[in-house]
Amino acid sequence: MAAEFAIQQGLEVWFSPALIDADEQETLIYFAECAKAAEKLRMQSPHIIFVAGCELTFFMKGLVEGDTAFDRMQNFYETLAFAEKHNSKRLFP
């Protein structure tokens, strides 16, 4: 595994589980398995980073509207651009 080799070389490992277009239940199951794998790596080195930001926001169905990850990204950024353009204090306190 590449992560184990990186640990042996003294490198930091960014563990970024990506399950594209899965629903919440599928993603939860997948992330739980990935967290177990990341914990096994962490036992070998404290330099393991588990990343779950865009993996949940854009890749998983349900948090941001859209059928695909690309649709969700587009919807998110269009909403952000609209709010910034109109200086929406409700979205950006």
Q: Are 57 and 79 in contact (CB under 8 A)?
A: no
For 87, phi then psi, to 5°, come to 50, 50
Tell me whether residue 38 is in a domain.
yes
Tell me whether residue 53 is in a domain.
yes
* Mean pLDDT estimate for the chain: 89
Instruction: Give the tens place of pLDDT for each residue, 11-33.
Output: 999 999 999 999 999 999 999 99
Tell me whether residue 92 is in a domain.
no
Tell me whether residue 6 is in a domain.
yes
Domain residues for the domain of 54 are 2-64
Is the pLDDT reported for residue 82 higher than 70?
Answer: yes
Residue bearing the bigger pLDDT, 54 or 26 = 26
* Helical H segments across the chain, by residue range: 2-8, 24-42, 53-54, 69-85
Span between the terminal Cα atoms of the chain, in Å: 44
> What SS3 class is residue 90?
coil
Tell me whether residue 36 is in a domain.
yes
The pTM for the full model equals 0.74
Report the number of distinct structural domains present in the chain. 1
Tell me whether residue 60 is in a domain.
yes
Tell me whether residue 42 is in a domain.
yes
